Amino acid sequence: QKEVEQDPGPLSVPEGAIVSLNCTYSNSAFQYFMWYRQYSRKGPELLMYTYSSGNKEDGRFTAQVDKSSKYISLFIRDSQPSDSATYLCAMSAGTDSWGKLQFGAGTQVVVTP
Amino acid sequence: DVKVTQSSRYLVKRTGEKVFLECVQDMDHENMFWYRQDPGLGLRLIYFSYDVKMKEKGDIPEGYSVSREKKERFSLILESASTNQTSMYLCASSLRDRVYEQYFGPGTRLTVT
């Protein structure tokens, strides 16, 4: 069983809708939770990160972490066609070099005009 | 602006050939990483380096080696390419204590025939 599970999609939503993405994990040592966005034919780029449990908001993006349920979420409000990408969750047990990231498989999101 | 560059976008090699993939970053980052990305499997860490001449195995190091002779450059070597090494290869870098914030290159699509 993978340490990080993520539904691959694709997830298709109309422009303006809320996009809801999530990942589950099994390793209770994870403390850092990240969301990366990857456009087609590009490398991933960090979108948001959260330490431990709680919510974090950045513009149209909200990240939530529920460590008790081992479940993280990313919400995109007022979605735009430019949000069409693959979204990867990633997790780490620490911030130093030994805190290797474990990635989910990624969810492909398509926002239709 | 952080920049991670990879030597080739597309590469086609024959089984048994020795393959070199090069990665250069211009942000003076201590950490550098090599991943492969396959559909349904997400990003899997092959090797990482936290300093010049230092390397650590990731989750799937078999069939690969790495070299880091200069801080800005990290090379991935396939000693004898095999068809199951056909994949997208991504290089990333980060500051020593910010492993969660990795900057990725555009990737090299390697096909081994």
Question: pLDDT of chain B along its 113 residues, tens only?
Answer: 669 999 999 999 999 999 999 999 999 999 999 999 998 888 999 999 999 999 999 999 999 999 999 999 999 999 999 999 999 999 999 999 888 899 999 999 999 99
In this prediction, residue B2 carries a pLDDT of 64
3-state SS record for chain A: CCCEEECCCCEEEECCCCEEEEEEECCCCCCEEEEEEECCCCCCEEEEEEECCEEEEECCEEEEEECCCCEEEEEECCCCHHHCEEEEEEEECCCCCCCCCEECCCEEEEEEC
pLDDT of residue A96: 67
Which of A87, A95, A102 should be substituted to probe chain B, the one whose Cβ sees the most B Cβ atoms within 10 Å?
A: A95
What is the predicted pLDDT for the residue at A95? 67
Q: What is the pLDDT of residue A104?
A: 94
Q: What is the pLDDT of residue B70?
A: 97
Contacts of B90 in chain A (CB under 8 A): 43-44
**CA–CA gap between residue A51 and residue A32 (Å, rounded):** 5
Q: Using a CB-CB distance cutoff of 8 angstroms, which residues of chain B are in contact with residue A100?
A: 45, 48, 58-59, 99
Chain A contact set for B55 (CB, 8 A):
none
d(CA A89, CA A6): 8
Residue B84, helix vs strand vs coil? helix
pLDDT in tens, chain A (113 residues): 778 999 888 999 999 999 999 999 999 989 999 999 999 999 999 999 998 888 999 999 999 999 999 999 999 999 999 999 999 999 998 766 566 899 999 999 999 99
Q: What is the DSSP letter of B85?
A: G
The tokens for B111 are: 């096909």
pLDDT at A98: 67
CB contact under 8 A, B99 and A106: no
Interface test with A, best of B35, B89, B100 (most A CBs within 10 A): B100
Contact between chains at A49 and B101 (C-beta distance less than 8 A): yes
